[in-house]
């Protein structure tokens, strides 16, 4: 068994209304000094040792990410 983290974030050129809503809320709540927030997704995936890096890349790219608007990164977590 291995643990893998897949981070999926909106591309830089894509508007992120959720992140902007958080920036606005922080200002109203009195938290100063926050210039920008981008909200994405984090997947923690448990895989058998039989799953190759190529399979993992396909899972991240084809299932977990909408590559039109999102970028992803895959990292294996040390046990």
Here the tokens at position 63 are 């299932």
Here the tokens at position 16 are 């992120």
Angle subtended at Cα 15 by Cα 35 and Cα 69, rounded to the nearest 5 degrees: 125
Query: Mask: binding to a copy of itself, 11-50, rule CB under 8 A, as x and -?
Result: --------x--x--xx--x-xxxxxxxxxxxxxxxxxx-x
Instruction: Give least dist CB 36 to a copy of itself, A.
Output: 4
Confirm if 7 and 73 have CB atoms less than 8 A apart.
yes
Provide the binding-site residues for a copy of itself, judged by CB under 8 A.
Answer: 1, 7-9, 19, 22, 25-26, 29, 31-48, 50-51, 55, 58-59, 62-64
């Amino acid at each position: 068994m291995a643990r893998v983290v897949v981070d999926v974030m909106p591309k830089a050129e894509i508007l992120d209304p959720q992140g902007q809503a958080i920036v606005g809320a922080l200002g109203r709540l009195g938290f100063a000094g926050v210039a920008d927030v981008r909200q994405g997704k984090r997947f923690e995936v448990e895989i058998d040792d039989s799953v190759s890096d190529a399979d993992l890349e396909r899972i991240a790219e084809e299932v977990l990410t909408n590559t039109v608007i999102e970028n992803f990164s895959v990292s294996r977590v040390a046990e």
